[in-house]
Chains A and B, each alone.
Chain A
Amino acid sequence: SQQGEEDPQALSIQEGENATMNCSYKTSINNLQWYRQNSGRGLVHLILIRSNEREKHSGRLRVTLDTSKKSSSLLITASRAADTASYFCATDYSGAGSYQLTFGKGTKLSVIP
């Protein structure tokens, strides 16, 4: 079963507002990553947060990680129409000589100009 689950499934906001997306996962992880996917395109990496980190910033993006609750959030501040896309969290873990990066089903964000 998939590791990460995003919430909400869809989010519609006005340009300039902040957008918050949440991700929950089930097992211990090494890292958690957030990706963006524009319609008809491949995924683009946004930010990686390691299991020993609690918060990370990159431009207008802020990611938090709470390993005790097995959850993460992605905050996009001052949203723009160009932020319209699907956002995925991906959790990784390794074991038995293998590695898995598991993606959630994503949050579809619509930013209305």
Chain B
Amino acid sequence: DAGVIQSTRHEVTEMGQEVTLRCKPISGHDYLFWYRQTMMRGLELLIYFNNNVPIDDSGMPEDRFSAKMPNASFSTLKIQPSEPRDSAVYFCASSSSPYNEQFFGPGTRLTVL
């Protein structure tokens, strides 16, 4: 089992540019979660999906953020336009049930200049 895959470990972009983060959950997991981690705010849940359907996006900070899950093996988190305050580590996690353990990817460190 390869675990949750976030193939891009570091992403650097300039303010105003669009940035897309990608995630491949563990096969068979019906739940996928996107988190953001910063020193100031800690780890925050942005959005989660169940069977590819967004269930709760109340943690998405602004309309500049959007997430999709076109199929069970792929999800994206897009920021458009990006701003320096979006700089953070973005984690994807998956689980078989929301009440069980979550398996985290290695994270993508986003730097917006």
Binding site for B on A (CB under 8 A): 2, 30-31, 33, 35, 41-45, 48, 88, 92, 94, 97-106
Contacts and interface: CB of A to CB of B under 8 A. Distances in A.
Contacts of A31: 99
B56 A48 contact: no
B56 A100 contact: yes
B91 A88 contact: no
A46 B42 CA distance: 19
A48 B100 contact: yes
Nearest to A30: B99
Interface residues of B, number: 21
Interface stretch (B61-69, B79-87, B103-111): B103-111
A39 to B, nearest CB: 11
Contacts, number: 50
Contact of B107 (A42, A97, A106): A42
B102 A41 contact: no
Nearest to A105: B42
Closest 6 CB pairs of A and B: A42-B104, A45-B101, A103-B43, A105-B42, A99-B98, A98-B56
Contacts of B107: 41-42
A45 B55 contact: no
A98 B103 CA distance: 19
Given A99-B48, A103-B43, A44 B99 contact: no
B39 to A, nearest CB: 9
B42 A92 contact: no
23 contacts: A2-B42, A33-B101, A35-B104, A42-B4, A42-B91, A42-B93, A42-B106, A42-B107, A43-B43, A43-B93, A43-B102, A43-B104, A44-B104, A45-B101, A45-B103, A92-B98, A98-B55, A98-B56, A99-B55, A100-B45, A100-B56, A101-B45, A103-B42
